[in-house]
Structure 1
């Protein structure tokens, strides 16, 4: 999947990481919406037609799995990002590609390509 010309959702609670990823996606030709909480991301999913998403797994003690389920239900491709390595996701999300922080835009591209 190419990132170019897609509206991408970033769910990330660390501003510096979110800004870096936003810059990298913009450089790829994507449009970007950033959310720092599950509630913000869920509201964005209702309002916008996303072409993909990158979800930080751990958001200040909460997981982003509620957002992952909403994306899955809408057929929107997404990848997980985590500082904890290849985290053990719930069984219904075990197939979702995971990138480990610090990751590169190449790793993000490969993760989305693996779903194609």
Structure 2
């Protein structure tokens, strides 16, 4: 299995910690985390990552500006939501959505489905 560097954006600290632990148990690395749109957008612009996992709603704000940065960099992403696919950012309605709370198996399946084959961490 190839290890991926993951940008994890989630505003609930306990959920973010749980997701980070699950990501690492799956053999990947969380290289940066954020819980606000401004912090997340900054990290999305400067960090080296293979995949972004984005909570749709960050403290009442839509994650669209962050998703646009990730897309503009040509990197894969998927969304987390407690509300299914409702509220996805405009232009991202076809992107995968992982419903919270999720299991390690559903997280693994979604990561594997979104990451390009043979993905190699930029940090390896």
Q: Which runs of 5+ in 1 are unaligned?
A: none
Q: How far apart, in 2, do the equivalents of 1:90 and 1:7 lie?
A: 23
Q: How far apart, in 2, do the equivalents of 1:43 and 1:101 lie?
A: 25
Change (3 A) 1:91 1:59: closer
TM-score, normalised to structure 2, is 0.82
Change (3 A) 1:90 1:12: closer
Q: How many residues align?
A: 114
Q: How far apart, in 1, do the equivalents of 2:44 and 2:36 lie?
A: 12
**Shift of residue 66 of structure 1?**
0.9
The CA RMSD over aligned residues, in Å, is 1.7
Structure with the largest fraction of helix? 1
Large movers: runs of 4+ above 3 Å: 112-116
Q: How far apart, in 1, do the equivalents of 2:36 and 2:87 lie?
A: 21
Asked if structure 1 preserves the Cα contact closer than 8 Å seen for 2:78 and 2:95, the reply is yes
TM-score, normalised to structure 1, is 0.87
